[in-house]
């Protein structure tokens, strides 16, 4: 099943997997794909964090399906 997320700025991304960062095995990375096919990574702690946006606390990425 494909899991998609909406970035707080509006982009839609497909979650691909979580992976261990080779240079620091204590860091788990999220690998995800933009609608245009570009592959991105960021630490899972950042991907799933709550951020402040326009005075509210919201998730950086919200699941949409």
Q: Which tens digits make up the pLDDT trace of 5-28? A: 999 999 999 999 999 999 999 999
Q: Domain-by-domain residue ranges, the chain?
A: 4-64
| Mean pLDDT score, 45-51 | 97
pLDDT at 65: 76
Enter the CATH code of domain 4-64. 2.30.30.320
d(CA 65, CA 58) in angstroms, rounded, equals 18
Q: What confidence tens digit (pLDDT) does each residue in 31-46 have?
A: 999 999 999 999 999 9
pTM equals 0.89
What are φ and ψ of residue 18, in 5° steps? -110, 145
The residue count of the chain comes to 65
Task: Name the band, by pLDDT with cuts 50, 70 and 90, for residue 1.
Answer: confident
What are φ and ψ of residue 47, in 5° steps? -55, -45
């Amino acid at each position: 099943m494909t899991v998609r997320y909406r970035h707080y700025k509006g982009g839609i991304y497909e979650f691909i997997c979580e992976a261990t960062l080779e240079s620091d095995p204590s860091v788990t990375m999220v690998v995800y794909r933009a609608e245009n096919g570009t592959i991105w990574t960021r630490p899972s702690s950042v991907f799933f964090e709550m951020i402040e946006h326009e005075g509210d606390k919201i998730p950086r990425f919200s699941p949409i399906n």
